[in-house]
């Protein structure tokens, strides 16, 4: 008993000493930054908006475009400003395109799928993007028809659009993944996926991944077992869906969803690079990546155009003159509605739904603007430093869609703008999101004028959370057919 106790203490001491030594050695090799407290890291603001964003901006003033921060004991290199980010992700894209090992997410996704799989992410990106292109065309009519139906019930109502928009976005993503709207499957996958994490909690999972023997200790072991059971249930359920989709698959199918493209790939490739785990994890990652970002962007957009009624007026005038109130909006109409598109771009810019990239790691040492980033670092890009750069976007905190319109009234292509990040691992859902936001936005505006409600505060300070979302708000929906705008 005593021997075990002493051995345990010696092992702990060795682990601690080893960590302190490598911690101190590492700090010296990394780009400059605020001095961290050993193991605790830097004192970071609790909220992302404006806390963390403002902190990064202050650190940039002190240390330049590239600096190191410690969230806990792990160093992260933060890269700012379009030119520096371009140098990192485009000019050095062959070195900086993989993702680092991520404890909790590796546990949840078994290191498979699109986002955390460094060996075959290119193949999964390719098959996912085929599914996205196909899905934009096949689903836009059905989904917006359904939105029109849902909207019919809201005439003259004061309403929070959050839930109808959530339904719309999840239907869109279901179409992409299964080729049908299926709330039951969507809900069950989400529940099983998060179940295992909820049982253990992020911190316990992280500790077990670092020190695997912990899972045998009281306080960890029973939760760990249940958590693994949840994960197995998730895989079992996904396996059933894959079997069902494989039965329905025919090789002459034209419209494809993610399952179809995955099945086609596995049937046509001689050497199978992808396993079923890649399919299961990618489904989850597409759901997670897409759902809140598109929903959040739509909520921001409707909030901004309710506050600034002159913007809304200009949008509806453009809609009436170009496609009218009855034409079903589709991706092909985007080019004839440049001002409406400018409103989408300005919303993406000002709201910064995703304020940083996902983490990157570099396989070799890179030197950017005389700063050396050692191989195998964890790097993130601060997208706010690009999208709110006052040189490219004067008065960056103001909502001014006209900055995206040129003197001839065309949509202006601003290179130094990156809400979806840039480079080989930029957001895969960019075109899919723009099409979804565009059709939903035009469908709502064709039917209703969005009016503010007396006594309702329309705040533009984002809520707590990693993705930026607006605080809840309600709108008064006035029917267009009886409003003066549509009579003109």
Indicate the residue among 320 and 358 with the shorter CB distance to ligand HEM.
Answer: 358
Say whether residue 173 binds ligand HEM (CB under 6 A). Answer: yes
Contact predicate 467/353, CB 8 Å: yes
Contact with ligand HEM (CB under 6 A): which of 175, 433, 443, 468?
433
Buried b (16+ CB within 10 A) or exposed e, 243-263: eebeeeeeeeeeebbbbbbbb
Reported in sequence order, the residue ranges of 291-393 that DSSP labels E, i.e. its strands, are 360-362, 366-368, 371-373, 378-381
Indicate the residue among 353 and 444 with the shorter CB distance to ligand HEM.
Answer: 353
Do the bridges between strand 378-381 and strand 74-79 make them parallel or antiparallel, or are there none, so unpaired?
Answer: parallel
Indicate the residue among 329 and 419 with the shorter CB distance to ligand HEM.
Answer: 419
Cα–Cα distance between 258 and 420 in angstroms, integer? 21
The size of the interface with ligand HEM (CB under 6 A), counted in residues, is 28
Contact with ligand HEM (CB under 6 A): which of 70, 432, 448, 473?
432
Map residue 453 onto helix, strand or coil: coil
Residue 12 counted as an annotated binding residue: no
Indicate the residue among 69 and 476 with the shorter CB distance to ligand HEM.
Answer: 69
Say whether residue 114 binds ligand HEM (CB under 6 A). Answer: yes
| CA of residue 44 relative to chain centroid, distance | 22
Cα–Cα distance between 394 and 240 in angstroms, integer? 53
How near is the Cβ of 289 to ligand HEM at its closest, in Å?
Answer: 3
In the numeric block, the tokens 């109130």 are attached to 325
Contact with ligand HEM (CB under 6 A): which of 69, 293, 303, 411?
293
Contact with ligand HEM (CB under 6 A): which of 111, 329, 429, 462?
429
Say whether residue 85 binds ligand HEM (CB under 6 A). Answer: no
DSSP 179: S
Map residue 328 onto helix, strand or coil: coil
Say whether residue 121 binds ligand HEM (CB under 6 A). Answer: yes
Site pattern 272..291 for ligand HEM (x: CB under 6 A)? -------------xx--xx-
| CA of residue 347 relative to chain centroid, distance | 15
Contact with ligand HEM (CB under 6 A): which of 357, 362, 371, 377?
357
Handedness of CA 191, 197, 198, 202 (dihedral sign): negative
Site pattern 174..213 for ligand HEM (x: CB under 6 A)? --x-------------------------------------
Q: Of 315, 376, 364, give the one whose Cα is nearest residue 344.
A: 315
Residues at the interface with ligand HEM (CB under 6 A): 114-115, 121, 125, 173, 176, 285-286, 289-290, 293-294, 297, 353-354, 357-358, 383, 419-421, 425-429, 432-433
Binding residues for heme: 427
């Amino acid at each position: 008993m005593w021997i075990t106790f002493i051995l345990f203490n010696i092992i702990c001491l060795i682990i601690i000493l080893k960590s302190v030594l490598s911690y101190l050695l590492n700090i010296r090799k990394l780009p400059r930054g605020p001095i961290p407290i050993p193991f605790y890291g830097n004192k970071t603001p609790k909220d992302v908006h404006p806390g963390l964003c403002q902190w990064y901006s202050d650190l940039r003033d002190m240390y330049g475009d590239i600096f190191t921060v410690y969230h806990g004991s792990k160093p992260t290199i933060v890269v700012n400003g379009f030119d520096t980010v371009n140098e990192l992700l485009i000019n050095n894209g062959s070195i900086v395109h993989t993702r680092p090992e991520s404890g909790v997410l590796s546990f949840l996704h078994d290191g498979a799928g699109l986002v955390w799989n460094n060996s075959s992410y290119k193949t999964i990106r390719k098959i996912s993007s085929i599914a996205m292109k196909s899905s934009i065309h096949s689903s836009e009519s059905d989904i917006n028809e359904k939105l029109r139906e849902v909207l019919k019930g809201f005439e003259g109502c004061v309403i929070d659009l959050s839930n109808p928009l959530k339904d719309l976005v999840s239907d869109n993503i279901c179409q992409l993944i299964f080729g049908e709207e299926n709330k039951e499957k969507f809900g069950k996958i989400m529940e099983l996926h998060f179940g295992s994490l909820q049982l253990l909690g992020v911190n316990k999972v992280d500790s077990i991944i670092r020190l695997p023997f912990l899972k045998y200790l009281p306080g960890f072991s029973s939760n760990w077992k249940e958590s693994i059971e949840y994960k197995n249930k998730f895989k079992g359920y996904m396996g059933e869906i894959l079997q069902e989709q494989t039965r329905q698959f025919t090789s002459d199918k034209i419209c494809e969803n993610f399952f179809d493209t995955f099945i086609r790939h596995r049937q046509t490739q001689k050497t199978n690079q992808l396993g079923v785990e890649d399919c299961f994890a990618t489904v989850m990652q597409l759901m997670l990546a897409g759902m809140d970002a598109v929903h959040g962007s739509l909520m921001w957009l409707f909030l901004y155009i309710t506050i600034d009624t002159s913007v809304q007026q200009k949008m509806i005038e453009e809609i009436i003159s170009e496609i009218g109130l009855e034409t079903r909006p589709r991706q092909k109409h985007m080019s004839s509605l440049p001002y409406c598109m400018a409103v989408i771009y300005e919303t993406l810019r000002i709201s910064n739904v995703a304020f940083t990239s996902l983490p990157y790691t570099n396989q070799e040492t890179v030197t950017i603007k005389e700063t050396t980033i050692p191989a195998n670092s964890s790097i993130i890009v601060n997208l706010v430093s690009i999208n709110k750069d006052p040189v490219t976007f004067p008065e960056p905190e103001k909502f001014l869609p006209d900055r995206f319109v040129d003197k001839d009234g065309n949509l202006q292509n601003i290179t130094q703008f990156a809400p979806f990040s840039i480079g080989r691992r930029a957001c895969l859902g960019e075109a899919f999101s723009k099409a979804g936001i565009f059709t939903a936005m035009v469908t709502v505006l064709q039917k209703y004028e969005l009016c503010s409600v007396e006594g309702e505060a329309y705040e533009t300070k984002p809520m707590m959370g990693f993705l930026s979302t607006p605080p809840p708000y309600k709108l008064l929906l006035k029917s267009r057919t009886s409003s003066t705008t549509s009579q003109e």
